[in-house]
Amino acid sequence: MRIDKIIVGLILTLFIAQASEQKCLEGDARACFEYALPLVTGENAKVQDIRERGLSFMRKSCILGYAKACDNMGTNYYKDKSYIAARPYLESSCERGVKSACESLAVIYRDGHDIRQDDIKARIFFEKACDLQSGDACYNVAIIYRGGFGVEKNRVKEKAFYKKGCESGLQAGCDRYIELDNEDKGIETGVWATVKSWFK
């Protein structure tokens, strides 16, 4: 009985895939995306020819205007370290409010992946991701203000971005914000505060 269900499931999956492929060939952007997605994710992503076929259908879906497909193209190119190819897709996705795309762009500019390193653009994209509730991005902006990377050093802004990171759920942001806040209030923190507490 269980084997019958598995066989029926496989036949149904094959039928749906063929229907999606046919609709895609007729110009249905969503069908292209639905056909491509299982070919570029999971175990299939490890099989080069399957993945390449999936990416070709994903690309077609994006060209036909399906935004999720464009997001997926950017993510795939970024994971493959094809940063030049990833950038236009990531920029489009970031403009539409895709947090991970903004984070990826920030890293590309911060680290100079296939592009001239640019602290200002890195900060802009990290700030966009921070506004979209990325605690890691907020923390990175705080570090930018702490180190003066492309901006003047600014402790007030540094502290504010640690707080935003904390509010977005990043514990490291909370820890650093509390540490700076305690320093501002004259409360000793860090290793020396711990050592002194042993002798009280």
Q: What is the residue extent of each domain of the chain?
A: 27-80
End-to-end alpha carbon distance in the chain: 73
> Helices 99-111 and 67-79 meet at what angle, rounded to 10?
30
- As a whole number of angstroms, the distance between CA 167 and CA 139 comes to 11
DSSP 122-166: HHHHHHHHHHTT-HHHHHHHHHHHHHTSSS---HHHHHHHHHHHH
- As a whole number of angstroms, the distance between CA 72 and CA 91 comes to 13
Tokens of 13: 């999956």
Tens of pLDDT along the chain (200 residues) come to 566 555 544 444 444 566 677 888 888 898 889 888 888 887 766 777 888 888 999 999 999 999 999 999 999 999 999 999 999 999 999 999 999 999 999 999 999 999 999 999 999 999 999 999 999 999 999 999 999 999 999 999 999 999 999 999 999 999 999 999 888 888 776 665 666 666 66
pTM for this entry: 0.80
DSSP 79-134: HTT-HHHHHHHHHHHHHTT-HHHHHHHHHHHHHTTTS---HHHHHHHHHHHHHTT-
Tokens of 192: 């020396």
Closest CA to 19 of 40, 1, 37, 34: 34
